[in-house]
């Protein structure tokens, strides 16, 4: 259980969960971002939020070297959880890329992957070529304000900025230097969710996730920008559960995927 306790935060552990919803934070984010989601889940769904190294209670640990190693750590932690419980992976922005890499590691016999849900992120082959992680501190911090999700009072607090900037730069670095492997479509279905006014992803870029699954693909659009999920938390959780909770876990032939 050591790996699970290192990587996962579970605000409401269940004795016999029917499903585990595993959530991956955006750049600069942490596991606490998803704690309010527990109030929107039915009694048989267990919430796990991923805590990346180098922040909150993992301050002092080195940041992830790259995105695949980050996903490998999470996949190992999920395999260490007790019981044969199906999992749905949800990731927003950077978290969508980490969730996808994690899904690739669980999408096989015994992995228990029921579905992948990606939010606010173009498909891997449609990612934009940006170098924000190489920018000066003021430019990097302005990026946080541009995308919303952070209050003005927080943005103007020098102490918060000093603590948050190294985390933000490290997260942008692994996101912008990630070079995805050639696509091997998942057997699990994929649900993509975006804000209608999100400058970070277009409908066309989100629809390109369809090529990453041999299963069902669905795109759902909400009102709002990049952080649409703050205003639509309840509807988003409902959409995820409606699309994935009672879906059967994919089965595999003896030869595997």
- Asked if residue 164 is part of any domain, the answer here is yes
Among 8-12, 103-107, 144-148, 194-198, which stretch is predicted with the lowest mean pLDDT? 144-148
- Domain containing residue 229: 3-243
Residues 65 and 208: their CA atoms lie apart, in Å, by 27
Sequence-ordered list of residues with C-beta below 8 angstroms from that of 105, at least 6 positions apart, any chain: 71, 72, 75, 111
Predicted confidence at residue 251, as pLDDT, reads 53
Asked if the structure places residue 250 within a domain, the reply is: no
| CB of 233 closer than 8 Å to CB of 40 | yes
- Whether the pLDDT of residue 236 is over 70: the answer is yes
Residue in the structure block whose two tokens are 């669905």: 218
Q: Does residue 252 sit within a domain?
A: no
Nearest to 9 by CA among 21, 26, 19: 21
Give the chain's domain count: 1
What's the pLDDT at 142? 87
Pure H helices in the chain? 2-7, 67-79, 94-106, 137-147, 152-155, 158-176, 203-207, 228-231, 233-244
Q: Which pLDDT belongs to residue 144?
A: 80
Q: Which residues are marked as active site?
A: 93
Q: Residue 177 falls within a domain, yes or no?
A: yes
Among 51, 47, 109, 48, residue whose Cα is nearest residue 84? 109
Task: Among 91-95, 106-110, 243-247, name the most confident range.
Answer: 91-95
153 or 34, greater pLDDT: 34
Instruction: Tell me if 81 is assigned to some domain.
Output: yes
Confidence band, pLDDT 50/70/90 cuts, at residue 250: low
Q: Is the pLDDT of residue 253 over 50?
A: no
Domain-embedded: residue 159: yes
What CATH number should be reported for the domain holding residue 96? 3.40.50.1820
């Amino acid at each position: 259980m050591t790996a699970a306790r290192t990587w996962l935060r579970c605000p409401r552990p269940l004795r016999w969960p029917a499903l585990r919803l595993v959530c991956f934070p955006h750049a600069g984010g942490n596991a606490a971002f998803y704690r309010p989601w527990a109030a929107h889940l039915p009694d048989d769904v267990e919430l796990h939020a991923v805590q990346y190294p180098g922040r909150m209670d993992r301050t002092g640990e080195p940041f992830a070297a790259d995105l695949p190693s980050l996903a490998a750590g999470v996949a190992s932690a999920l395999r260490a959880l007790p019981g044969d419980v199906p999992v749905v992976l949800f990731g927003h922005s950077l978290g969508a890329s980490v969730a996808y890499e994690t899904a690739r590691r669980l999408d096989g016999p015994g992995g228990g992957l029921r579905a992948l849900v990606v939010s606010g992120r173009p498909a891997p082959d449609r990612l934009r070529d940006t170098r924000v992680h190489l920018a000066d501190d003021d430019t990097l911090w302005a990026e946080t304000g541009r995308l919303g999700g952070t209050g003005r009072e927080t943005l103007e607090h020098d102490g918060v900025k000093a603590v948050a900037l190294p985390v933000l730069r490290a997260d942008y670095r692994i996101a912008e230097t990630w070079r995805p492997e050639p696509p091997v479509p998942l057997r699990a279905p994929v649900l993509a969710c975006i804000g209608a006014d999100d400058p970070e992803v277009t409908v066309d870029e989100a629809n390109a996730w369809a090529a990453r699954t041999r299963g069902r693909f669905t795109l759902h659009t909400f009102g709002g920008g990049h952080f649409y999920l703050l205003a639509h938390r309840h509807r988003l959780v409902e959409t995820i559960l409606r699309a994935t909770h009672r879906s059967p876990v994919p089965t595999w032939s003896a030869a595997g995927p």
